[in-house]
Chain A
Amino acid sequence: MAAARALVLTLVITFAVVLQVSLFPYLSIAGVVPNLALLVVVAAALVRGPEFAAVIGFLSGLAIDLAPPVDHVAGRWALALVLVGYLAGRVRHDAGTSSIAAIITVAASSFVGTSIFALSGMVLSDPALSVTEALAVIPPAVLYDVLLTPFVLPLMMRLFRRLEPHQVAY
């Protein structure tokens, strides 16, 4: 059962990362595509809490960092998504129940994730990025993630509920 769960998670992460580079470039807003992996991480956080989401965040961040065609220092998206998973997991008690709260969580997570990635780029000068250039990309990224939330988040949350190991009722 645990192996099947791990397999489903691997498939979901791979699917999200591949769609991000293969399908969404055709639908991009000035090159900005929705960060599907981030939505998966937020869904994991809302259902299962910070620790699990941080692990999912690390794995999907690693997938983004290593899958072609990206070319930046490996570990940067992993770092961003670990923090996103943890922070989103901390607010899950409210966001798991109402859709407005879920959308706000996605917007905040997307902002935090993209900003951490951009900041790590500035620190490592990989590439040497100016604040204005980063600010030009972050708002459309947040907007696109929020736009996709109603389609992706409920689906992912249902999946993570199904994948949750059975517990003793309390």
Chain B
Amino acid sequence: MRDRHQRPSRGVLVLLLLASFTLITLDVRGGENSPVDPVRTAAANVFGPVEEVAASVVRPFQAVPEFFTTTGSLQREVRRLEAENATLRGELATSSVARQRAAELDGLLTSSGDTGYALVPARVVGVGPAQSFSQTVTIDAGTTSGIYPDMTVLNNDGLVGRVIRAGRSSATVLLIVDRDSVVGGRLGSNMEVGFLRGRGAIGESGRLDLDLVDVSITPGRDDVVVTWGSENGAPYVSGIPIGRVVSVFSSPRQLSKHAVIEPFVDFSSLDLVGVVVRADTQGDRPVFKAGDTGKERR
């Protein structure tokens, strides 16, 4: 109102623009150890708990659309569930054998030493907007639970991503569907290795692109891809299922075959995830160790 009849001063604008550019330059030039990172960690320590509270307030309302179901549909639902219950009871009687077997297999996996990972459970409390063009989520566990950058994150379906930044009680996870994400993968059928790149989309079009190192290999349809793993398990531990091959094609310009992978994890409805930590981690959360009959995967 003060300056209705005159042009607003440009000083403030120029100052703020310069501040923005300075910040961008500092962060870009800084690279791996950017001077902005301590500020980020501080911000994570402030915003993390707030997001956690907001998420726990919001979570019950996820069921709101279901309030509007009618009695008729509820009765149908009850009948359907009763039928399902009966079927499940029958299955339960026969599944104890299968469960025994699974427990044995689990023990076998543990003894191999390679796949017996210790997991810290965490919940997703914040999801980055698509307008930011990166696929990242916040989880509600951080350094106090033994979570540090470059740790593998998975859920009961498969590989979710890796921790890129950890605050006291929250951490940021880069999903494998992000454009910047590259995961070493191994084809389940012939142990061939390759690299999986994200396409930066989640949901139906949330696919990964696989380029194999050996150009003469053609991946088969429905072939399962698992993580290849790297030294000391950072950033990805080996043997975690990633997805399955849905299509294979080769372009004349490229020598190698190109496969499209559909990830096992549904990234649009992430909730409970596990972070792979060292087995001797001490923190404020229980650490699930493989061999506890695989409860940690459920």
Which of A's residues lie within 8 Å of B, judged by CB? 14, 17-26, 28, 30-33, 35, 49-51, 54-55, 57-58, 61-79, 82-83, 86, 89-90, 93, 114, 117-118, 120-121, 124, 126-129, 133-134, 137, 141, 167
Contacts and interface: CB of A to CB of B under 8 A. Distances in A.
B20 A78 contact: yes
B130 interface: yes
A67 B268 CA distance: 21
B283 interface: no
A121 B130 CA distance: 13
B179 A129 contact: yes
Contacts of B134: 70-72, 127
B44 to A, nearest CB: 5
Nearest to B179: A127
Interface of B: 1-4, 8-9, 12-13, 16-17, 19-24, 26-28, 36, 39-40, 43-44, 47-48, 50-51, 54-55, 58, 61-62, 125-134, 136-138, 164-165, 167, 170-174, 178-180, 200-203, 268
Given A67-B47, A69-B137, A86-B13, A141 B131 contact: yes
B51 A55 contact: no
B172 A68 contact: yes
B132 A66 contact: no
A132 to B, nearest CB: 12
Contacts of A141: 130-131
Nearest to A118: B133
B128 A71 contact: yes
Given A21-B128, A32-B131, A93-B4, A82 B51 contact: no
A109 to B, nearest CB: 13
A3 B173 CA distance: 36
Task: Give 7 closest A-B pairs by Cβ, nearest first.
Answer: A75-B23, A31-B130, A66-B43, A21-B126, A22-B54, A79-B20, A25-B127
B161 to A, nearest CB: 11
Contact of B203 (A30, A35, A58): A30
A68 B12 contact: no
Given A74-B23, A78-B23, A18 B47 contact: yes
A93 B1 CA distance: 9
B20 A58 contact: yes
Nearest to A23: B58
Contact of B172 (A54, A69, A114): A69
